[in-house]
Amino acid sequence: MKELLRTTDPVRISWLTALLADQEIEAFILDSHTSVLEGSASAIPRRLLVADQDFDAANRLLAEAGEIEMCGPKADSLLGGRVRLRQPEDGYRVAVDPVLLAAATPAVAGTVLDVGAGVGAAALCYAVRVPGARVSGLELQPRFVDLAGENIEQNDLSDRVEVFEGDLLEPPPTLRPAMFDHVMANPPYMPSDRGGAPPNPSKAVAMVEGDADLAAWIDFCLDMVKPKGSITMVHRADRLDELLALFRERAGGIVVVPLWPGRDRPAKRVIIRARRDVRTPLRLSAGLTLHGEDNAYTAEALAILRDGEALAV
C-alpha cells in the first residue's frame, strides 16, 4: 500500500474516493476510527492509500484533477515550455483536457472562442500552435480572468488573445452571435443533481454544472459560431448520448474522438467536434491512447502534450 495524501477534511476524502472509484481504483482510508476515539473528527488527519500497483495511475489522476501536486517538478508550463502558466495554489488546476481540446480544434488562422477559458490554458495553447489566429475567452470566475490576463501577458500574446469575464447565460456585448470561425469548450463534467461535488467552491464551479446546464453550453457555442463553423468540446464519455442528442438539433458532421486512458481500458473522456448547419453523417475516430503499460504517456500523447502536434480528428 502507498499513501497519496493526508487530510482532516472528511468531505474531501469522500470526493477523492469517488474520483478514484470512477477510474476503478480502490482507495483505503486509515485513521478514521482514531479520530473518533480522540474525540475530534478534525484533530487527526486521515490517510488515503491505494494498492502499490495503482499508485502511479492514482497519483496522476489526482494531479490532473488538481487535487495534489504530481510527484516531481511542479507543472507551470505546457507544450514543452512554450506556454508559461500561472495557476491558483488551491482550487481547480489545469490537467491535460484543455491541451487536448486546443489540439483537436481546427488549426486555421481565424477567430476562435474558448468557452470556460479558466486561466487561459486552451486559448494560449491554440494561439501558440496556430500563428495568426485570434482567440477570445469567456470565463465566469473573476479570479481566473485575472490570472488569464497575466498569463496572456507573460506569453507575449496580448495582441492575439483576450479573456472576458461573463456568464454564457448573459454574455458580454463584445461577444456577438455567429462571430467566430471556431468555438472550443471544456464544460463542467458533472450535472448538478449527481452529488459528490468537490468541497473547494472554485473547483466546484469548474467541475459541476450551475445555472447553465449542458444544453445551455451547447446552445451558446452554436450561437457563437458562424454557419458551417466548428464546435469542439471535451466531456465525459458516460454523457455521450446526451451530447449527441443536443448537437444533432442544430449541427452535423459530428466526429467522436475517444480518449483511452490506457490500452484495454474504457474511455472516460471524449472529444466531440461538430459543425453548425451541416448534415454530414457521424463518424467515430480511432481516438488517442494516453498511457502505455508503464503508465507513462504514449509517444502519440507526448507529441500532442509536449510537442504541440494536432490531435487527429
Please report the sign of the dihedral spanned by the C-alpha atoms of residue 211, residue 217, residue 222, residue 225: positive
Q: What's the rounded mean pLDDT across residues 21-28?
A: 82
Q: In terms of pLDDT, which residue wins out, 27 or 23?
A: 27
Instruction: Tell me: do 193 and 297 sit in the same domain.
Output: yes
- Give the orientation angle of helix 55-64 with respect to helix 10-22, to 10 degrees: 110
- Give the orientation angle of helix 97-104 with respect to helix 121-129, to 10 degrees: 40
Instruction: Tell me: do 235 and 196 sit in the same domain.
Output: yes
Residue 70 inside a domain? The answer is no
pLDDT attached to residue 41: 45
Domain containing 6 equals 2-64
CA distance 168 to 145: 14
Of 24-33, 67-76, 250-259, which gets the smallest average pLDDT? 67-76
Q: In percent, how much of the chain has pLDDT > 70?
A: 84
Q: Which residues of 200-209 are buried (b: 16+ CB within 10 A; e: fewer)?
A: bebbbbbbbb
pLDDT attached to residue 202: 62
Q: In terms of pLDDT, which residue wins out, 57 or 102?
A: 102
pLDDT band at residue 184 using 50, 70 and 90 as cut-offs? very high
Residue 259 inside a domain? The answer is yes
pLDDT attached to residue 128: 96
Q: What's the rounded mean pLDDT across residues 151-175?
A: 96
CA distance 166 to 139: 6
Instruction: Tell me: do 150 and 272 sit in the same domain.
Output: yes
pLDDT attached to residue 26: 86
DSSP 309: P
- Whether 194 has a pLDDT exceeding 70, the answer reads no
pLDDT tens column, 33-77: 444 444 444 446 788 888 866 776 787 777 766 666 544 333 468
- Whether 3 has a pLDDT exceeding 90, the answer reads no
For 42-97, list the strands marked E by DSSP.
46-50, 77-78, 83-84
Instruction: Tell me: do 124 and 50 sit in the same domain.
Output: no
pLDDT attached to residue 269: 95
> Would strands 225-236 and 269-276 be described as parallel, antiparallel, or unpaired?
antiparallel
CA distance 118 to 115: 9
- Whether 229 has a pLDDT exceeding 80, the answer reads yes
- Whether 24 has a pLDDT exceeding 50, the answer reads yes
Residue 298 burial (C-beta neighbours within 10 Å; 0-12, 13-18, 19+) = middle
Residue 29 burial (C-beta neighbours within 10 Å; 0-12, 13-18, 19+) = middle
Average pLDDT of the chain is 86
What is the count of structural domains for the chain?
A: 2
Instruction: Tell me: do 275 and 158 sit in the same domain.
Output: yes
Instruction: Tell me: do 84 and 55 sit in the same domain.
Output: no
Question: CA 297, 75, 6: angle at the middle one, nearest 5?
Answer: 95
- Whether 175 has a pLDDT exceeding 60, the answer reads yes
Residue 238 burial (C-beta neighbours within 10 Å; 0-12, 13-18, 19+) = middle
pLDDT attached to residue 164: 97
Residue 81 three-state SS: helix
Instruction: Tell me: do 111 and 222 sit in the same domain.
Output: yes
Q: What's the rounded mean pLDDT across residues 118-134?
A: 96
- Please name which of 270, 257, 261 lies closest in space to residue 293, comparing C-alpha atoms: 261
Q: In terms of pLDDT, which residue wins out, 257 or 1?
A: 257
pLDDT attached to residue 71: 40
For residues 301 and 113, is the Cβ–Cβ distance under 8 A? no
Q: In percent, how much of the chain has pLDDT > 90?
A: 59
Instruction: Tell me: do 183 and 262 sit in the same domain.
Output: yes
Instruction: Tell me: do 52 and 82 sit in the same domain.
Output: no
pLDDT tens column, 260-288: 999 889 999 999 999 999 999 999 999 99
- Whether 30 has a pLDDT exceeding 90, the answer reads no
- Give the orientation angle of helix 214-224 with respect to helix 240-247, to 10 degrees: 40
pTM for this model (two decimals)? 0.76
pLDDT attached to residue 56: 67
Residue 313 inside a domain? The answer is no
Instruction: Tell me: do 29 and 103 sit in the same domain.
Output: no
For cell 463542467, what's the residue? 188
Element (H, E) at 139: strand 134-139
CA distance 259 to 189: 15
CB atoms within 10 A of CB 152: 23
pLDDT attached to residue 74: 39
Instruction: Tell me: do 55 and 81 sit in the same domain.
Output: no
For residues 173 and 179, is the Cβ–Cβ distance under 8 A? no
Instruction: Tell me: do 58 and 119 sit in the same domain.
Output: no
pLDDT band at residue 32 using 50, 70 and 90 as cut-offs? low
